[in-house]
């Protein structure tokens, strides 16, 4: 569920007194469970469904953020996109090739039998033995 915040001039002043620098514009739409710790900059574009958590002294000068926790004293560059798509985080790679069985017809480019599933148990071993 999302919340729409109407940023009237009075509300903007109150937010600034609390240590928040609100985004430009008159309306902000954020996920209900989103959290900010003052002082922080709120000029990023936030996804209206996926919550974010932003720590104090963090500068967000216009990235797009969804489903992420950003700690204190961080600075995220303009144009950066964080958390926009769901990818498995427990796999060896977050690349689509790691979780979509025939991504871009990759099996055709394999010279060896590489179509069997390989379990990944939070440990990685590099070994060239057959």
Q: What is the pLDDT of residue 68?
A: 85
Q: What is the pLDDT of residue 130?
A: 47
Mean pLDDT, 10 residues at a time, over the chain (130 residues)?
79 80 74 84 74 87 83 88 72 71 68 56 49
**Alpha helical stretches, state H, the chain:** 9-17
Q: What is the pLDDT of residue 91?
A: 72
pTM above 0.75, yes or no: no
Q: What is the pLDDT of residue 117?
A: 56
Q: Shortest CA distance to 114 belongs to which of 98, 94, 93?
A: 98
Rounded-to-integer distance, Cα 55 and Cα 36, Å: 6
Rounded-to-integer distance, Cα 35 and Cα 5, Å: 14
């Amino acid at each position: 569920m999302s919340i729409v915040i109407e940023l009237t001039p009075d509300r903007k002043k109150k937010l600034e007194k609390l240590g928040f620098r609100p985004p430009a514009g008159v309306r902000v739409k954020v996920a209900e469970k989103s959290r900010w710790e003052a002082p922080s900059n709120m000029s990023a574009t936030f996804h209206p469904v996926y919550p974010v958590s932003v720590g104090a002294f963090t500068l967000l000068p216009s990235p797009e953020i969804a489903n992420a926790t950003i700690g204190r004293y961080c600075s995220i560059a303009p144009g950066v996109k964080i958390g926009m798509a769901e990818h498995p985080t427990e796999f060896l790679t977050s690349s689509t090739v790691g979780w979509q069985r025939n991504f871009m017809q990759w099996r055709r480019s394999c010279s060896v039998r590489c179509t069997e599933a390989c379990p990944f148990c939070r440990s990685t071993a590099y070994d060239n033995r057959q």
